[in-house]
């Protein structure tokens, strides 16, 4: 099977999976007790008004009709209207997607910048106390829940040391002319440091341990011994020969990690009052704002699916020995 066939097959799989997830979400949310419009239809509404509002949202239709409309709307990325505000869902979440992508993108990049050299260092120091300590430290950081490390980070860097802001995305009262202006402002970057570091602290162990294992395999290869025999310095051998060839699984894992990073934004965004997609998802679920909740779930699921797809592609591209059969 060639690349074209592989891509076509994977895209079909992704589309089927995506619609299966969408179907599951549709029925799961409707299985929840209570009227989803309870928050929207206040006590001041008459029966007629309430019925009219239900009709506006299509909730007066039979379930299969609602389902059909929902699925056909998804094709055009029309997620409907929020049950709480009545605003288009896409308008509500598009701002938050960028906030989440910037935070999680930064933390994943940081995690790789720290984790990859750290993993290489551990492998190179195989069998030493430094390696053992490093592995234990990596496992501890992977085991520590983000809400705990987040609060610890706030306590140390915001409360005790006063170096960094304790959450939020900007100083009170500040507005920006555009998202770009906001993301490049010193105030935003200062607010970004702590949550990005906290998440990177959780993420870095994955590339670190992967890199370590991969390096250990590579270090047994003949070309490493040959490089050492040529008299090349240890550092150069590690960096230019061993690490470079050990990077393959790390690169492919990056795509998967990036997808899961976006999905894992819920806790981090709540702790740091970061107005992102994860926090919006929590709010929507608690408020029974099904259209927004469904949309956030679907977007997060879509990002994970796409990331996995890219990882598959990258793997085959980077290692010619891999075939698409």
Using CB under 8 A as the criterion, which residues of the chain lie in contact with another protein when the complex forms? 32-36, 38-40, 42-46, 48-49, 52-53, 84-86, 92, 95-96, 151, 154-155, 158-159, 162, 165-170, 172-173, 175, 270-273, 275, 279-280, 282-283, 285-288
Tell the smallest beta-carbon distance from residue 267 to another protein (Å): 10
Tell the smallest beta-carbon distance from residue 126 to another protein (Å): 40
Following CA atoms 215, 217, 222, 227 in sequence, which dihedral angle do they give, to the nearest 10 degrees? 10
- How far CA 79 is from CA of 22, 233, 321, in Å, comes to 11, 58, 42
Closer residue to another protein in complex, CB, 20/32: 32
Tell the smallest beta-carbon distance from residue 51 to another protein (Å): 11
Closer residue to another protein in complex, CB, 30/244: 30
d(CA 119, CA 133): 12
- Output the six-digit token pair for 20: 């299966």
Closer residue to another protein in complex, CB, 24/32: 32
SS3 at position 9? helix
Tell the smallest beta-carbon distance from residue 277 to another protein (Å): 11
Closer residue to another protein in complex, CB, 8/168: 168
Tell the smallest beta-carbon distance from residue 46 to another protein (Å): 6
Count of Cβ atoms closer than 10 Å to residue 42 Cβ: 9
Closer residue to another protein in complex, CB, 280/312: 280
| Residue among 62, 91, 51 at smallest CA distance from 291 | 91
d(CA 56, CA 48): 12
| Residue among 241, 206, 216 at smallest CA distance from 227 | 241
> Rg of the chain over CA atoms, in angstroms?
24
């Amino acid at each position: 099977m060639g690349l074209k066939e592989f891509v076509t097959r994977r895209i079909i799989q992704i589309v089927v999976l995506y619609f299966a997830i969408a179907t599951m979400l549709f029925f799961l949310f409707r299985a929840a007790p209570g009227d989803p419009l309870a928050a929207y239809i206040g006590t001041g509404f008459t029966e007629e008004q309430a019925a009219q509002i239900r009709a506006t949202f299509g909730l007066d239709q039979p379930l299969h009709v609602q389902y059909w409309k929902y699925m056909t709307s998804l094709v055009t990325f029309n997620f409907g209207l929020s049950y709480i505000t009545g605003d288009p869902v896409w308008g509500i979440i598009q701002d938050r997607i960028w906030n989440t992508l910037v935070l999680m993108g930064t933390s994943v990049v940081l995690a790789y910048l720290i984790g990859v050299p750290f993993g290489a260092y551990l492998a190179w120091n195989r069998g030493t106390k430094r390696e053992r300590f490093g592995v234990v430290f990596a496992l501890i950081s992977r085991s520590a829940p983000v809400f705990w490390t987040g609060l610890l980070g706030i306590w140390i860097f915001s409360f005790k040391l006063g170096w960094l802001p304790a959450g939020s995305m900007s100083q009170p009262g500040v507005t920006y002319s555009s998202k770009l202006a906001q993301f490049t402002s010193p105030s935003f970057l200062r607010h970004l440091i702590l949550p990005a570091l906290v998440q990177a602290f959780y993420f870095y162990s994955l590339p670190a341990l992967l890199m370590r294992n991969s390096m250990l395999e590579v270090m047994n290869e003949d070309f490493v011994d040959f490089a050492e025999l040529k008299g090349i310095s240890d550092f150069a051998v590690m960096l230019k020969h061993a690490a470079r060839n050990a990077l393959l699984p790390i690169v492919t894992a990056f795509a998967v990690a990036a997808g899961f990073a976006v999905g894992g934004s819920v806790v981090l965004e709540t702790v740091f009052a970061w107005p992102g997609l994860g926090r919006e998802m929590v709010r929507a679920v608690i408020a029974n704002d099904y259209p927004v909740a469904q949309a956030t779930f679907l977007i997060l699921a879509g990002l994970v699916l796409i990331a996995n797809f890219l990882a598959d592609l990258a793997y085959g591209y980077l290692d010619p020995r891999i075939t698409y059969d």
